[in-house]
Amino acid sequence: MPEAVPILLVGVGGAGVSLVGRLAPGLPANARALVVDADLSALEASGLPDPVQLGRGSLRGLGAGGEPALGADAAEAEEAELRRRLSGASLVMVVCGLGGGVGGGAAPVVARLAAEGGATVLALATLPFSHEGERRLSAARDAAVALHRRAHGTVILRNDALLQVAAADAPVAELFAETGRWVGAALDALSGCFRPGALLPLDPGALRSFLPAPGCRATFATAAARGEGAVLAATRAALASPLLPHGPEAERHDHLLVEVVGGPDLSTGDCQAAVAALRGDLGGDRITLLGARTDSPEPGLVRVSFLAASPPAAPGAEPRRPAKGRRAKGKPADAADQALFSFAEEANLRRGLFGTSAPNLFNGEDVDIPTYLRKGIRLPSAD
């Protein structure tokens, strides 16, 4: 039986602290939580013991006021403490909302320190809603680039995409709760693969080969189903998640990690069928990992989750092949080309670092956010 991979879930800045605070009471056995912020009231509200307070002197218990440079400086000033608190985990999951000062500025520093401490670092970060304004969006894009350079894998969730998941008139708190479920599912899936008791356990070393170097672009999705054919139904629902990139933005990934959680009747054939469907759509040509568990928390419920990742392309490499036109359930064809996740490309990273003009890192996304997303209109199902 493999050893459990120790996981550290780190919330950075207001959004990250609140998300991790809500998940902390139900953490898997091999995970622990840490919150990092300059805002003392946010740290206290999380209810988590031993938070790391940044900028005690410079920011005096307040946030970084939307200035990522202040957040980064405050994190660097606490480098020794952060290194100490980030040590010991094999996988560090950094959770933050980009667009503000601490999440945007400190999260890349946290990712760097965790990676330097020997952990594999997976960042889960949100981009602001369109209605939060161009300045915040632009700060968030720059922060996404900085995070992407430091974390082994980066998954970006655009908050606008949440409008496709929740009811049209859902309060913001409900949209944020959806983010919490998404982060919680990613934590469950990764901890489940590397925790004893799995039907198909994964070797802890697989994590490092899965995210071998900083700069891997990643996507994550999850879905559950019940009844006959539940494994395939959950697989298809996960592939149709509006939180995934669809259409031309749906690139194939070199690495694919699949977790299937079901009851005692979960069959290897079902798991293999799920993997085959996911491979056909997403890739996984270089590495495909399958973890399976039979301890579903709800009788009859099957959950399929996947993390797909692409290591940074070597200079001069062929452009990536797009996926086979994956489309979100309920989205019309003319909206299918809108990326719901986006990533900083290597070429854009270079431009951002050395160019003189502000980089446009999310090609086609910032200028082309469709009206239905901007206005939060839910599209009728195409089925």
Ligand X SMILES: Nc1nc2c(ncn2[C@@H]2O[C@H](COP(=O)(O)OP(=O)(O)OP(=O)(O)O)[C@@H](O)[C@H]2O)c(=O)[nH]1
Looking at residues 101 to 160 of the shown chain, list those that interact with ligand X (rule: CB under 6 A). Answer: 101-103, 126, 128-129, 132, 136, 159
Segment interacting with ligand X, rule: CB under 6 A, options 26-34, 63-71, 148-156, 315-323: 63-71
Looking at residues 35 to 54 of the shown chain, list those that interact with ligand X (rule: CB under 6 A). Answer: 38-39
Helical H segments across 49-171, by residue range: 68-77, 79-86, 102-116, 134-150
Residue nearest to Mg ion (CB): 63
Segment interacting with ligand X, rule: CB under 6 A, options 10-18, 194-202, 206-214, 362-370: 10-18
Counting contacts by CB under 6 A, is residue 212 touching ligand X? no
Counting contacts by CB under 6 A, is residue 184 touching ligand X? no
By CB under 6 A, name the one of 30, 90, 179, 191 that touches ligand X. 179
Beta carbons within 8 Å of 212's beta carbon, 6+ residues apart: 152, 311
Counting contacts by CB under 6 A, is residue 306 touching ligand X? no
Burial of 370 (0-12, 13-18, 19+ CB in 10 A): middle
Binding residue count for Mg ion, defined by CB under 5 A: 3
Sheet with strand 7-12: strands edge to edge: 52-53, 31-37, 7-12, 91-97, 120-127, 153-158, 216-226, 301-310, 253-261, 283-293
CA dist 49 and 25 (Å) reads 12
CA dist 140 and 64 (Å) reads 14
Counting contacts by CB under 6 A, is residue 63 touching ligand X? yes
Read off the DSSP letter of residue 337: T
The minimum distance between CB 42 and ligand X, in angstroms, equals 7
Answer with the entry of Mg ion, ligand X, none that 176 interacts with (C-beta below 5 to 8 A by kind).
Answer: ligand X
Q: Is 258 helix (H, G, I), strand (E, B) or coil?
A: strand
CA dist 107 and 97 (Å) reads 9
Segment interacting with ligand X, rule: CB under 6 A, options 65-73, 81-89, 216-224, 373-381: 65-73
Answer with the entry of Mg ion, ligand X, none that 283 interacts with (C-beta below 5 to 8 A by kind).
Answer: none
Q: Which is nearer to ligand X, 120 or 179 (CB)?
A: 179
Task: Give the CB-side neighbour count of residue 191, counting CA atoms within 13 A.
Answer: 20
Answer with the entry of ligand X, Mg ion, none that 128 interacts with (C-beta below 5 to 8 A by kind).
Answer: ligand X
Counting contacts by CB under 6 A, is residue 11 touching ligand X? no
Residues 119/86, Cβ–Cβ less than 8 Å: yes
Structure tokens at 284: 């996984």
Counting contacts by CB under 6 A, is residue 304 touching ligand X? no
Which H/E stretch holds residue 272?
A: helix 268-282
Answer with the entry of Mg ion, ligand X, none that 103 interacts with (C-beta below 5 to 8 A by kind).
Answer: ligand X
The contact set with ligand X (CB under 6 A) reads 13-15, 18-19, 38-39, 63-66, 71, 97, 99-103, 126, 128-129, 132, 136, 159, 176, 179
The contact set with Mg ion (CB under 5 A) reads 14, 39, 63
